[in-house]
Amino acid sequence: MKSIVIFASGSGTNAENLIKFFHNRETGSVIQVLTNNPHAKVLERAKNLNISALSFNRIAFSQTNDVLNILKASEPDLIVLAGFLWKMPDFILNEFPNKVINIHPALLPKYGGKGMYGSYVHEAVVSNKEAETGITIHYVNEHYDEGAIIFQAKCDVNTSDTAEDVAAKIHKLEMEHFPKVVESLLV
């Protein structure tokens, strides 16, 4: 069975969805959740689902091998960034080539890059009067949101939509597609 490690920074709805999706699945399972936020709700969600969860600081992540060593010990087949806001260090990406993926709440290359996450993306989509938006699941490389695209799903943006309306549509796409795409990468 293949193993998945999830990195998250916030509430953890995507992480929880992945954990539940892979519970009792033969293709893979989530073995650990890692977060850069010691107060992230994802820690509670993981604990409630009996998944190991740890928080770390910036030094452990990017200036020492602490997080890298945790990953090496876990031997994940796939590392999934699910609302994780820090840029992955090159030395982690080099250790796990083509094994780190991310989900982004827009149709890349639009609305990607440093500082473009969550409500910032949705507000930009609405203020630019986009007719559609969506999600992008992509491989992670040394640049924010520039790795090879694995999958995209679209939704319409109505002229009356607020950023909150767009966020709800994106969340629905994430819940529907993210676990299936992750599973497809494990087989």
DSSP state of 148: P
DSSP lists the bridge partners of residue 149 as 138
- Strand, helix or coil at 47? helix
Marked catalytic residue, from 23, 104, 122, 143: 104
What is the rounded (10 degree) CA torsion for 38, 39, 40, 42?
80
What DSSP letter does each residue of 60-124 carry, written as one string?
IIIISSHHHHHHHHH--SEEEESS--SPPPHHHHHHSTT-EEEEESS-TTTT-STT--HHHHHHH
CA angle, 107 then 16 then 80, to 5°: 50
Residue-wise over 95-125: b if at least 16 C-beta within 10 A, else e?
A: ebeebbbbbbbbbbebbbeeebbeeebbbbb
Is position 177 annotated as part of the catalytic site? no
Active site residues: 104
